[in-house]
Structure 1
Amino acid sequence: MAHLLGAEALHLEFPTRVIFEGVTLGIDEGSRIGVVGRNGDGKSTLMSILSGRLEPDSGRVTTRRGVTMGVLDQRDILPLDAIVSDVIVGGREEHEWAGDARIRDVISGLATDIPWESTIGALSGGQRRRVALAALLVGDWDILFLDEPTNHLDVEGVAWLAQHLKRRWSPNSGALVVVTHDRWFLDEVSTDTWEVHDGIVEPFEGGYAAYVLQRVERDRSASVTEAKRQNLMKKELAWLRRGAPARTAKPKFRIDAAETLIADEPPVRDKVALSQMATSRLGKQVVDVIEAGVSYGDRRILHDIEWRIAPGERTGILGVNGAGKSTLLKLVTGEVEPTEGRVTRGKTVKFAILDQQLADLAEFADERVNTVVGRYRTSYVSGGKEMTPGQLLERLGFTTPQLQTAVKDLSGGQKRRLQLLLILLDEPNVLILDEPTNDLDTDMLAAMEDLLDTWPGTLLVVSHDRYLLERVTDTQYAVLDGVMRHLPGGVDQYLAIRKEAVEGAGEATDRPTATQGASASVAAAAKKSGLSGAEKRNAEKELASLDRRIKKGAAERLALLDQFAAHDQGDYTGLGEIQKKVAELEARTEKLEAEWLLVSEKLEG
């Protein structure tokens, strides 16, 4: 493969520390590189040096003659008075750019809901980010440097971007270097991983899953101080291998080696034990939402919502922006009252919300971290082990000097971790996570997920981070057209439903606008099912039957867990029998869900 860019003996030093010491690396045609590392270790700085935006103190970066580079920074600096269409397509007439398949694809993927003639200043922060990304992607670049490109993208947007980057160049041409905390995205687009740490850049072969495996292998011989990181990565590896086989099916992920490393690793979560603890803390009733709806005047936001939230339930909520996810959560907590139907809550329910605002830390702004934490409980039980708040802070990546830091001086990621810790120390039994991954690097996300694995309560998660949703929740629902829909097929099913809806809307539009026209062209290229009418009807009946059986199994499981909680806790034989029934039921449900996916794929063609 032809060489595009090389960096030799890079050295960069800030007043307080050395960022890079003797870093040498290269980018070739066909490179697809994901960059990971702790916040502050130099990922964005590395991108700036390689793209020529920052000069190192010593060393050099060389490029092949004629190589073009496109860069997406974390901050989008666009003229506020610029027009969206001018920023994206450079003021060209529609008939000029509409014939370019790449431009149509980019507009349909990122800008269909953005007013084409609006000024940048009139857009939201998320819309500005998407315009900046679209303006970059319509260009023709040999190397693309993307710094957190998934910020402000929903699940659909992230999936679109991954597919676009995979199709953008032929396998042995072009190059991509991407910094992101989105681990699903990393695994989709990268064939190599660079870990930035301790002043060096360490290369790994493969995407995120393969990187985790190699890091566990590396850490086996690490010092005692690395033991905690090693154990955490082993748990991450176990989930990747057992819980998400499709993600680890790539040739570079050495399955035999992974199986050896995780042979003694227990399941990520003991679901029965957690359900038992959750029931003892919550009782049998958490929240029952019965035929509920919410309307504002003539606008109906939600309707016919039927959701009986169980003790220990771990549910992810999907939906486009404005679909009603936040309204649904407020309906659950009582912040919004239903305009139809009813909502009942258990007497012992105690809600806590980890949201995007960090508002609950404002009152502690001038206080030190250890002072704030000291006001809460002196101990916390995690995974059957009692831990002090200080040990919890260490587990979430805080160093001893940072305990003396004022809350207002913490980084965004540190504030997010402190917020989670204070919530857990307050001992709620229903925890709602609203986009909790902002400002967290991959290591801290893994640490947060590890902590949540042992949390014995009901967990409701709204997030655009697909990896997090699949990692910490057991069931997913979507808010679609104002109603809740169960997703036995998880995020993949949701994306398929949304794709079908978008394509249907595109085909139904008689006179599409410029941005709608791009979506319609994508729709026209979609694969259609090859089933005959009779075969399609039979498949639809089978799908409906499987859906009913899955829902019935979920109800039976809840009944068994209620029975477990009400049973004499000293009768170990009886408890064991109930536990066995739960395990058998879960195994049958997994088979039904696999069948559901097969039939669904058949229908989709």
Structure 2
Amino acid sequence: MAHLLGAEALHLEFPTRVIFESVTVGVNEGDRIGIVGRNGDGKSTLLSLLSGRLEPDSGRVTMRRGVRVGMLDQADVLDDGLTVAQAVVGGAEEHEWARDARIRDVIGGLLTDVPWQAQISELSGGQRRRVALAALLIGDDDILILDEPTNHLDVEGIAWLAQHLKRRWSASAGGLLVVTHDRWFLDEISTTTWEVHDAVVEPFEGGYAAYVLQRVERDRMAAASESRRQNLMRKELAWLRRGAPARTSKPKFRIDAANELIENEPPVRDTVSLTQMATSRLGKDVVDLLDVSVSYDGRPILRDVEWRIAPGERTGILGVNGAGKSTLLGLVTGEVLPTTGRVKRGTTVRIATLSQQLGELGDVWTDRVSDVIGRKRTTYVAGGKELTPGQLLERLGFTSAQLSTPVRDLSGGQRRRLQLLLILLDEPNVLVLDEPTNDMDTDMLAAIEDLLDSWPGTLLVVSHDRYLLERVTDQQYGIFDAHLRHLPGGVDQYLELRKGVQQDAAAAVSAQTAAAASAAAAPTSSAAPALSGAELRAAEKELSSIDRRLGRVQGEIASTHDALAEHDQSDYEGIIAITERLRGLEAEVVELETRWLELSERIG
């Protein structure tokens, strides 16, 4: 394979520490490289060195002549004075760029909800980020360097980006370097993994799953003293081999070696014991949403939601931005009141929320970490072991020196971990996580997942991080057109359903366009012929029959929703059968309503 870019003996030193010590790496045609490592160890700095944006203290970066490099960094570099169209396609007219399949694909994948003629200054931070990514992807670069490209993308957008990058070049062309904490994305697009640690860059063959195996082997063979870290990675490997959706069939690492390493590793969660403990803490009643609807200014956000949350339930919630996920969580916590229906809570329920903000830390901003923890409980039971708050902090990646650090001086990831620890020490029995992966590296995400594995309560998670969602929850629900729907097929089923929604929307737009064109071309005097007396009576009779049938079908839909809510959630075949019946009833309603409208227009 032809060489694209290389770095030789890179040395970089900041005033307080050495970032890289004699690092030599290379990128060849066809390389798809995922970069992992702890926050602060130099991942983004490495990308800046390789792209030429940062000069090393010694060593050099070389590039083949004529190679074009495109980079997405974490800084916002868009010009506020441009429109979205200008930022993405420059001054090109629509008929010019619309002929390019790549440009159409990028705009459809990233910018469907971004106004094309809006000023950049009017956009949200997430929209600006997607515009910057779109502007980069429509180019024809030989190397793409992406720093956290999945930030501000939902599950659907992340899946689209993975597919785009996999199709972008042939297998032996182009080069890709990606820093991201999204482990599903890493595993999907990477053929090589670089781990940045202790001033070096260590290469591993394969994506994230293969990296985990090789890291476990490396630690075992070296008899590393970091036994806690070793065991965490071994547990991660066991989950990847046994239960990770769509991974067990991928020949990404040596199956025999993996099986040998996890032979004595128990499942990541003892589901039976956790459910028993949760029931003893919560009783049988947790939170029930009974025929709940929520509207804002007359606009429906959630409609006819029937959800009975069980003790020990671990559920992930999926939906596009603005679908109503936060509203649904607000109904559970009591922060949102239903417009119709009711919310019933058990008497022993204690709900805590790990929110996207850090409000819980506002009152302790100037306090030292040790003082904040010292005011809490002196012990915490995790995995059957009694731990002190200090041991929990160590388990979440804090060093002893950081215990004397004021909360305001912690990094974003450290504050996030401290926030979670304070919530757990309060011992809630229902935990709501709203986008918990912000500012977390892959090691810290694994540590938090390990801690949650032994947490004996009900867990509700909203996250765009597919890996975390599949890792810590046992089932998923999706929000579609303001309705809550169970997803026995998990994230894959959600993505398929979303694809169907988009196709239906596109077909509806095409049909409306065709109808408008037909109406414009038709003679203006073409009115529907009047019905004769017999025809009118027949139409009125059919209309009355449809009204009665609609009432019966709506009743069947309501009872089917009840049956779905009360059905054993572990019986996937039964749930699928009920779901299919529900889909058939809803399709019948559409047909009946369409016929009702046709008859109503004819009767006048």
TM-score range, shorter chain: 0.7 to 0.9
**Letter of the structure 2 residue corresponding to residue 456 of structure 1:** P
Aligned twin of 2:407: 407
Unaligned runs of 5+ in 1: 514-547, 559-585, 600-605
Encode CA deviations 1:457-490: one digit per residue, 9 max, x unaligned: 0000000100011000001001111111000000
Distance 2:223 2:266 in 1: 23
Structure 1 position 25, deviation (Å): 1.0
Relative to structure 1, the CA distance from residue 196 to residue 593 in structure 2 (aligned partners, 3 Å threshold; closer, same or farther) is farther
CA distance in 2, matches of 1:6, 1:260: 37
SS where residue 341 of structure 1 aligns? strand
What is the percent sequence identity of the aligned residues? 72
Q: Which residue of 2 aligns with 1:491?
A: 491
Q: Contact (CA 8 Å) 1:489, 1:596: kept in 2 or not?
A: no
4+ runs deviating over 3 angstroms? 510-513, 548-558, 589-599
CA contact (8 A) 2:323 2:480 kept: yes
* Deviation of 1:264 (Å): 0.2
Distance 1:331 1:593 in 2: 25
The 1-side partners of 2:347 and 2:335 are apart by 16
Structure 2: distance between partners of 1:549 and 1:239: 35
When the two chains are superposed, the root-mean-square deviation of aligned CA atoms in Å is 2.2
Paired position in structure 2 for 1:430 = 430
**Equivalents in 2 of 1:245, 1:155: separation in Å?**
15
Q: Tell me, which stretches of 5 or more residues in structure 2 are unaligned?
A: 514-558, 582-604
Separation (CA, whole Å) in 2 of partners of 1:108 and 1:211: 33
Helix, strand or coil at the partner of 2:109: helix
Report the Cα distance in structure 1 between the residues aligned to 2:579 and 2:160, rounded to whole angstroms. Answer: 21
User: Aligned letter for 1:205?
Assistant: E
Compute the TM-score of the two structures, normalised by the length of structure 1.
Answer: 0.86
2:135 is equivalent to residue 135 of structure 1: yes
Partner of 1:101: 101
Asked if 1:27 is matched to 2:21, the reply is: no
Whether contact under 8 Å (1:489, 1:593) holds in the other structure is no
Deviations, residues 514-551 of structure 1 (Å, cap 9, x unaligned) = xxxxxxxxxxxxxxxxxxxxxxxxxxxxxxxxxx9999
Distance of 1:183 and 1:447 partners within structure 2? 14
CA–CA distance in structure 1, aligned partners of residues 283 and 416 of structure 2: 30
Is the counterpart of residue 244 in structure 1 residue 244 in structure 2?
A: yes
Superposed, 1:343-358 pairs within 5 Å as 343-358=343-358
CA offsets 1:185-207 (integer angstroms, 9 cap, x no match):
00010000000000100000000
Residue 437 of structure 1 deviates from its aligned partner by: 0.1
Supply the AA of the counterpart residue of 2:501: A
Q: Does 1:444 align with 2:439?
A: no
Q: Aligned with 1:9: secondary structure?
A: strand
1:513-524 correspondence runs (5 A): none
Q: Say if 2:152 is the partner of 1:148.
A: no
Matching residue of 1:528: none
1:417 corresponding residue in structure 2:
417
TM-score by length of 2: 0.86
Deviates more, 1:44-53 or 1:331-340: 331-340
One-letter code aligned to 1:51? S
- Corresponding residue for residue 218 of structure 2: 218
Partner letter of residue 294 of structure 2? Answer: V
Q: Deviations over 1:198-242 (max 9, x none)?
A: 010000000000000110111113445311111000000000000
Show the 5 A alignment for 1:84-483.
84-223=84-223, 225-244=225-244, 246-483=246-483
What does the per-residue CA deviation read over 1:300-354, in whole Å, with 9 as the maximum and x for residues that have no partner?
2111111110100000000111111111111111111212111110011011000
> Contact conserved, 1:188 with 1:207, CA < 8 A, in 2?
yes
Distance 1:34 1:418 in 2: 28
Shift of 1:553: 9.6
The 8 Å contact of residues 6 and 62 in structure 1, kept in 2 or not, is answered as yes
Give 1:27 deviation, angstroms.
0.4
SS of 1:337's equivalent in the other structure is: coil
Rate the CA distance shift 1:511–1:5 in 2: closer, same or farther, 3 A. Answer: farther
Partner of 2:534: none
Distance 1:591-1:290 versus aligned 2 partners, 3 A rule: closer
Q: Per the alignment, in what secondary structure is the counterpart of residue 432 of structure 1?
A: strand
Largest Rg, 1 or 2: 2
Please state how far the C-alpha of 1:75 moved relative to its aligned partner: 1.3
Q: CA deviation at 1:143?
A: 0.4
Counterpart CA distance in 2 for 1:248 and 1:63 is 38
> Alignment partner of 2:221: what SS?
coil
Q: Is the 8 A contact 2:308 2:565 kept in 1?
A: no
Offset at 1:510? Answer: 3.6
Aligned equivalents of 1:234, 1:192: Cα separation in 2: 20
Amino acid at match of 2:180: T
Q: What is the SS of the residue equivalent to 1:308?
A: strand
